[in-house]
Structure 1
Amino acid sequence: MPKVHLAPLSSIAAGVVGMIAIAVVSPLSAAGWTAGLLYLGVSNALLARGLQRREMSAFGWGNWATATRSTLIAFVTALVATSFTSPISVPLLVVVAAIALVLDGVDGWVARRTHSETELGARFDMEVDAFLLLALSVYVAQLLGWWVLAIGLLRYVFVVAGWMLPWMRATLPPRYWRKVVTAFAGIALTVAASDLLPLWAGVSVTVIALALLLESFGRDVLWLIARRPAKTARLETGHRRKGSST
């Protein structure tokens, strides 16, 4: 029988209680409730699936920190979805996002100190980071323009490209710069969301974040292209030549 992990269930329970508390401070719309609960359900279902597939019996303190951050992102998601139709408490959104960003610097450290680093934990951390950027970019896009969505969508474009091009699914080498760029993007979007900066300053930090992400993803794509299987490269070259001769 598959083992039952309490972490996904705990995250859902804490998320529901937290959303009720959030709604007291900043009422949530029907779309806000739906988005927040949907995030809690899908993210924890994927987490439970990952735990089951890897037959993990221990969750690890670093993963608990990431799960806490994921729960906070459900609140950010609910507030952002509500913002399309109703006013929200911007300070509350900024504070919750800021706490999630702080925890992003804690979970890896905790995992290393407690010797509980796992492949699943690293993937969990990365996907939580990506969704926080997506949620924040959706909100900031309402303030600065829809071009900001590129910040949140880059990761998902990369994933879709991997579905179509198997060589792009190769394991990338660890690179600390990715973490730095992701953290800067989250901070830039949170600062822009606060609306405390002049418009030009908010646009500037957001443009810098987008440029850094493009550089980071671009470097990874170039690394993958240089190391794609020789057979794949020959096939693609042959297709290009065939297309040019017709």
Structure 2
Amino acid sequence: MSLMNSSRGASFRQLKASAAFALVLGLCCAALAAALLVELQGLSHPVLWQSLAVYLAVAAAVRLGLPAHLPQTAFGPANAVTLLRAVVVSLLAGLVGQTAPSALGWSIPLLALAVLALDGLDGFLARRRKCASPFGARFDQEVDGLFVLVLALLVWLDGQAGVWVLVSGLWHYAFHLARLARSALRRPLPPSWRRKTVFVLQVLLLIAALSPPLAGWPGTAAAGAGLLLLTLSFSADMLWLLRSRRQAKRLLGDLR
């Protein structure tokens, strides 16, 4: 037992060192990217500090969840891609409340498209390099959730939609809270192309709402369509979990 604990401890030390290197490199990238955006767009310095604050919060969450990446001993390329996505999301978060999104023209839509383009690459790398883990899957999901929340906030602050658009960004967190509150919802969900497709469509519609050509009612309609799709998708998952729970109870009753 002590030998196993010693081996696990050595593995975790290696993993912490690898993750620390990636997180520090990510911090440097976040600081440089935010500083360039501030300089090129003539923005105020709070954009820089807000971006870094969001990135540091993500880094702290990564460190807390790192044990779930064992027995892997390296942070890995898949998580590095997810971290790069988190850097760009932090940059977008730095703009929330600091400037009118429409004043930046195509900057926000292009940054958001870069985040979306990298989505899926992390999963592909994890499978290709055989380094998938519960940590990597959760890290990817949480970056996705933060991404949608930041986009929804930018759409709202730009006046493209009412406060209702924030529901798009809050669905992810509300769903996890519901799973914590009700045991019937804690069963693992099966892989779903519907879920992945809706996520991509939701993000594209929010990006469309922030694009200059769709200013006004087209942007509002795009944000509304995205919220509808996301609501239907989360509702379908909740119904599946509740039904599978009832079916499991019925089967158990029949066996008895």
What TM-score bracket applies, with the shorter chain setting the length? 0.7 to 0.9
Contact kept, 8 Å, 1:80 with 1:136, in 2: the verdict is no
Q: CA deviation at 1:59?
A: 1.9
What percentage of aligned pairs have identical amino acids?
Answer: 30
Contact kept, 8 Å, 1:181 with 1:212, in 2: the verdict is yes
Q: CA deviation at 1:218?
A: 0.4
* Among 217, 222, 234, the residue aligned to 2:234: 217
Q: Could you give the per-residue CA deviations for residues 88-135 of structure 1, whole angstroms, max 9, x where no partner exists?
A: 523211211111111113222233333332222111111111111100
In terms of mean alpha carbon deviation, does 220-229 or 145-154 score higher?
220-229
Q: Distance between the aligned counterparts of 2:88 and 2:29, measured in 1?
A: 10
Check 1:22–1:30 CA distance in 2 against 1; reply closer, same or farther (3 A cut). closer
Number of aligned residues? 232
Contact kept, 8 Å, 2:38 with 2:45, in 1: the verdict is no
Q: CA deviation at 1:31?
A: 4.7
The match for 2:86 is: 70
Contact kept, 8 Å, 1:94 with 1:193, in 2: the verdict is yes
* Among 97, 108, 111, the residue aligned to 1:96: 111
Letter in 1 for 2:116: L
The match for 1:240 is: none
Letter in 2 for 1:177: R
Letter in 1 for 2:211: S
* Counterpart check, 1:80 vs 2:96: yes
Letter in 2 for 1:57: T
Q: Distance between the aligned counterparts of 1:215 and 1:87, measured in 2?
A: 29
In terms of mean alpha carbon deviation, does 221-230 or 129-138 score higher?
221-230
Q: Could you give the per-residue CA deviations for residues 126-168 of structure 1, whole angstroms, max 9, x where no partner exists?
A: 1111111100101111322111111111111112222322332
In terms of mean alpha carbon deviation, does 13-22 or 104-113 score higher?
104-113
* Counterpart check, 1:18 vs 2:33: yes
Q: Could you give the per-residue CA deviations for residues 62-108 of structure 1, whole angstroms, max 9, x where no partner exists?
A: 22111111101111111223126x98523211211111111113222
* Counterpart check, 1:135 vs 2:150: yes
Q: Distance between the aligned counterparts of 1:166 and 1:82, measured in 2?
A: 40
Contact kept, 8 Å, 1:185 with 1:209, in 2: the verdict is yes
* Among 187, 192, 195, the residue aligned to 1:175: 192
Q: Distance between the aligned counterparts of 1:193 and 1:16, measured in 2?
A: 24
The match for 2:127 is: 112
Q: Distance between the aligned counterparts of 2:166 and 2:108, measured in 1?
A: 18
Q: Unmatched 5+ residue regions in structure 2?
A: 1-8, 251-256
Q: CA deviation at 1:203?
A: 2.2
Letter in 2 for 1:162: R
* Among 129, 153, 156, the residue aligned to 2:173: 156
* Counterpart check, 1:9 vs 2:24: yes
Q: CA deviation at 1:30?
A: 5.5
Q: CA deviation at 1:231?
A: 11
Q: Distance between the aligned counterparts of 2:83 and 2:244, measured in 1?
A: 34
Q: 3-state DSSP class of the match of 1:115?
A: coil
Q: 3-state DSSP class of the match of 2:156?
A: helix
TM-score by length of 1: 0.84
In terms of mean alpha carbon deviation, does 131-140 or 55-64 score higher?
55-64
Letter in 2 for 1:24: E
